[in-house]
Structure 1
């Protein structure tokens, strides 16, 4: 699959279908109803269900989905939920999450998102702060968490259990019971759901997404319907997706990136295969064969490292062919970025190696990938180029919860590595005097729920949203992100260091790396914490006479330290003197979502990690 060379142009002359933006739907409910009318018999979702053979993928058409959503929506109305009342979803990514959210939308209510890993104390705060009336709970674990905070959430009326059987009480009901309640309600008032959709306006609240605040309490980002309908229309207007695409969706739907990707199909009409199990991504891709997928950089880092190590372990001709394909692919990727095609011997070599190597790698991702979308953290340029060279472009994008996810994205026909692309149509951008990125546009939040002080700090009087990120625009309008404003630090020598840039480079160099956490504010040099990927290190251990030994023993061995030191030396060779890592410690375990060190979208929680391992970091600067 030899990709076409992108066109080189600038945002000013990018072809935009303005009619899509001008004619966008009034609400997510309108968007859903219009999609059902336009695509009734086409597939809407694919999801895995248990079977005698293990798992089967079931296809749900838009018409079938409409029946389920309307019944659940009517059930929500029957529970006494009024327009803009909050209904929470406490669940991982699964088909039932998507159905529950759509039911909330057609009922005219607003979704409150709760990660399944959220601790009980924060769950109580979110439910109380949002005044949530009903919660969809994934399973018995989430139900038990809700029971533990019930006395602190008196406004919570009912809980709808997605899987399992609830205890006999008057508080919990199943999805099937809610559907039955909805059918009964519709028998008496057949137009109830359509009436709620018709009454929903663009500025009506659709979602509250809670994100970490500086005080330690989450902040609720208020996103009205206009935000979601704008985002979907803007993506359709830049013409990177069609109704014939198939999406694989695993991202947390409680995260704005995942929620955005859940709304896009309503606008464009493509099918979505949905499964939140990260350990099943590779296996599922081979079955579903999607054409695109959104992911965090860590997914691409792991895939690249695993393929690289597997090929090197093969040795001989296979390893030589892989290295040749990687080198040739990068050369071609650089040409395509400039709008040029390979020619002569390079074109011939690329075509041969594509058939021998790259085509087989694409099969590992299902064989049909047109492009990936990367967001939530910085993507290493070398890894991005490698994927492009293998025939799978990664379009890196940028946005915040406060901007309804996507504000910038590289196009499939115009991209520049190391940048997050051009703004979506309708978004204005400024770079402040201190380098902070300011955004204004239809996707900006209404404000923080019950928090006018934080809202005023983030959105100024002229409507500019202060992102907290440092960046710059190049001559063609591509935006580069340097770092989070709050993450930039000065050494004691007065030199600025951007940690995420260094961390991203290291993970592109070291195939065994999971995380690098750069530290050094007000210190006389930079140091770091390192974690190593368990799967990669199992293979490394076998090659170094440590097969079967515990992970902690392997990663803290002198041999592992020497291996990491080699990659740190390679990293340091490309850094300014004051950025170089003088000391590092390898942790005995990887960072995780469960331990609160990574967000559910796999982004580093820098302050949490720095506080938790302060003793190890301090030790770098003593003695």
Structure 2
């Protein structure tokens, strides 16, 4: 497998070697519009000329506001090729946050692509150069299509140095305001070349991109990986067509956050209850056909490696998928370490852990059990935030992850909680909620859970029912959730035992601000809304309380 020193070098190589290979597949009105490597190369080179003619200079910051689409990747490559620095913005951010990021990052221009409601976000863009993509209905004074029509392809493509700044990635964050993580070309190059050595895939693999490319895992694992490996990337058209699009692509690698794996499981069990599934899987010939049919229907029949990350996944969920012939490798990393951290890999996958350190990574635990990481892929710091940057590092140069963990005898790391997620009950005892939440999530009637307990004697579980759970009567659901809690409690310390379940009236989502764009529960927001109710819920003389 070829090795490259930058995404630009890799893209140029594939554009010369495989000019007619499809690079990007963008569905519009149920038809995939395809861009070959040559097509994308021409558009990127024209964009370089267009940016120059608009007064953009090498070193300028250019933002991308868009859902994943063909133009996200072409925009990113064009920004690099023009010698500029990309500022990706989550497509779900509101106008106020968009404005803060554009101002803080000193962006000179913004490329606006596929969005659900650009009209609601438009007021967040200050007086900078705006480039809309007409294909997605974004019409600005400057558009991608106009620039292509008015400019010749540039012969000059920027050649970055390893330590040049490539991007500033503003974290979605479960706490606080977004911070701009600065990463160089060298960080991504080392990460992807390490992944190529460790994760074997077919030549020119197929990818399916749906999690926000603004998130480090998708940016590295799909965008950068596909460019370095000379792959083909397909995108879903909408949430409604997601399953159909994924099934039509059958990618050769798949990355899902735990919530996605839960949703897939839910859909399977809706059509085939667990008892029936177990019975069919137990029949030798039929079991094999059922597995293949489910894999094909999900879109995972060709996937040689599946990953889960961004939040802990329940071991029981991994075991459930393994019975279907689908192996999920849990991985661990963060924006600040460019996800060069710990991975489970095919053939070396230990459920319940996030794997061993990748080559080039040194990890250890602090006296308090916090995971500390050192590698050549660590961020250069937070943009314009020297104090916050300094807080992230120990005296000997290790990055503080904010996660609590433990290593087993084989060097596999398990995450046991977040430093900031720990809370104190009014008995003065600290509780780490993550392990308890994972146990409750084994119940297929539960979609989301948050263990809380500040200011009350014992913790309580805030739960959002799954689609399966919602179909049950209230009495059936109450019995189901309370049985799960009573099964878990004997294994917990006295002060950790869950006293009640509180059923939430609304789903926690990105739209209502209770989940991050990478689908992690925003604990601080959930707490801010519900903390005043804890004492009243705790006092109620029932095991399962319903939010009014």
* TM-score, normalising length: structure 1: 0.81
Residue 191 of structure 1 corresponds to 155
Q: How does 1:25-64 map to 2 (within 5 A)?
A: 25=5, 27-50=6-29, 55-64=30-39
Give yes or no for the alignment of 1:308 onto 2:269: yes
Distance change in 2, residues 1:103/1:606 (3 Å): same
Residue 477 of structure 1 corresponds to 411
Report the Cα offset of residue 617 of structure 1: 2.3
Contact 2:447 2:464 in 1 (8 A): yes
Residue 465 of structure 2 corresponds to 532
Q: Give secondary structure in 2 for the equivalent of 1:619.
A: helix
Tell me how many residue pairs correspond in the alignment. 538
Give yes or no for the alignment of 1:136 onto 2:111: yes
Q: Give secondary structure in 2 for the equivalent of 1:112.
A: strand
RMSD, aligned α-carbons: 2.5
Report the Cα offset of residue 560 of structure 1: 3.4
Which of residues 65, 86, 89 in structure 2 aligns to 1:111? 86
Residue 512 of structure 1 corresponds to 445
Report the Cα offset of residue 505 of structure 1: 1.8
Q: Give secondary structure in 1 for the equivalent of 2:213.
A: coil
Contact 1:90 1:136 in 2 (8 A): yes
Give yes or no for the alignment of 1:589 onto 2:544: no
Q: How does 1:47-196 map to 2 (within 5 A)?
A: 47-50=26-29, 55-138=30-113, 144-145=119-120, 147-150=122-125, 153-154=126-127, 156-163=128-135, 172-183=141-152, 186=153, 190-192=154-156, 194=157, 196=158
Report the Cα offset of residue 585 of structure 1: 1.2
Give yes or no for the alignment of 1:486 onto 2:420: yes
Residue 5 of structure 1 corresponds to none
Residue 163 of structure 2 corresponds to 203
Q: Mark the runs of 5 or more structure 1 residues left unpaired by the alignment.
A: 1-16, 313-318, 329-348, 545-556
Contact 1:309 1:511 in 2 (8 A): no
Residue 337 of structure 1 corresponds to none
Which of residues 296, 300, 309 in structure 2 aligns to 1:375? 309
Report the Cα offset of residue 419 of structure 1: 0.8
Distance change in 2, residues 1:36/1:576 (3 Å): farther
Q: How does 1:319-338 map to 2 (within 5 A)?
A: 320=275, 322-324=277-279
- Post-superposition Cα deviations, 1:239-286, rounded to whole Å, max 9, x if no partner, equal 332324322111101111111121101111222212273443322222
Distance in 1, Cα, partners of 2:77 & 2:526: 36
Give yes or no for the alignment of 1:463 onto 2:423: no
Give yes or no for the alignment of 1:240 onto 2:200: yes
Report the Cα offset of residue 598 of structure 1: 0.3
Distance change in 2, residues 1:582/1:119 (3 Å): same
Q: Give secondary structure in 2 for the equivalent of 1:581.
A: coil
Contact 1:251 1:601 in 2 (8 A): yes
Residue 485 of structure 2 corresponds to 568
Report the Cα offset of residue 359 of structure 1: 1.9
Residue 451 of structure 1 corresponds to 385
Distance in 2, Cα, partners of 1:353 & 1:432: 51
Q: Give secondary structure in 2 for the equivalent of 1:524.
A: coil
Q: Give secondary structure in 2 for the equivalent of 1:487.
A: coil
Distance in 1, Cα, partners of 2:231 & 2:175: 41
Distance change in 2, residues 1:576/1:36 (3 Å): farther
Q: Give secondary structure in 1 for the equivalent of 2:83.
A: coil
- When structure 1 is superposed on structure 2, of 597-606 and 266-275 the one drifting more is 266-275
Q: How does 1:251-270 map to 2 (within 5 A)?
A: 251-260=211-220, 261-270=222-231
Residue 334 of structure 1 corresponds to none
Which of residues 251, 258, 267 in structure 2 aligns to 1:297? 258
Distance in 2, Cα, partners of 1:216 & 1:239: 35
Residue 315 of structure 1 corresponds to none
Contact 1:165 1:174 in 2 (8 A): no
Q: Give secondary structure in 2 for the equivalent of 1:377.
A: coil
Distance change in 2, residues 1:238/1:362 (3 Å): same
Distance change in 2, residues 1:244/1:267 (3 Å): closer
Distance in 2, Cα, partners of 1:303 & 1:215: 28
Contact 1:561 1:586 in 2 (8 A): no
Distance in 1, Cα, partners of 2:264 & 2:115: 33
Q: Which has the higher helix share?
A: 1
Distance change in 2, residues 1:612/1:473 (3 Å): same
Distance in 2, Cα, partners of 1:107 & 1:511: 49
Distance change in 2, residues 1:559/1:388 (3 Å): closer
Q: Mark the runs of 5 or more structure 2 residues left unpaired by the alignment.
A: 541-548
Report the Cα offset of residue 71 of structure 1: 1.7
Q: Give secondary structure in 1 for the equivalent of 2:441.
A: helix
Report the Cα offset of residue 386 of structure 1: 1.4
Contact 1:584 1:620 in 2 (8 A): no
Distance change in 2, residues 1:126/1:322 (3 Å): same
Contact 1:250 1:276 in 2 (8 A): no
Distance change in 2, residues 1:144/1:311 (3 Å): closer
Which is bigger in relative contact order (C-alpha 8 A, separation at least 6)?
1
Give yes or no for the alignment of 1:219 onto 2:179: yes
Contact 1:371 1:394 in 2 (8 A): yes
- When structure 1 is superposed on structure 2, of 300-309 and 207-216 the one drifting more is 207-216
Report the Cα offset of residue 413 of structure 1: 1.7
Residue 388 of structure 1 corresponds to 322
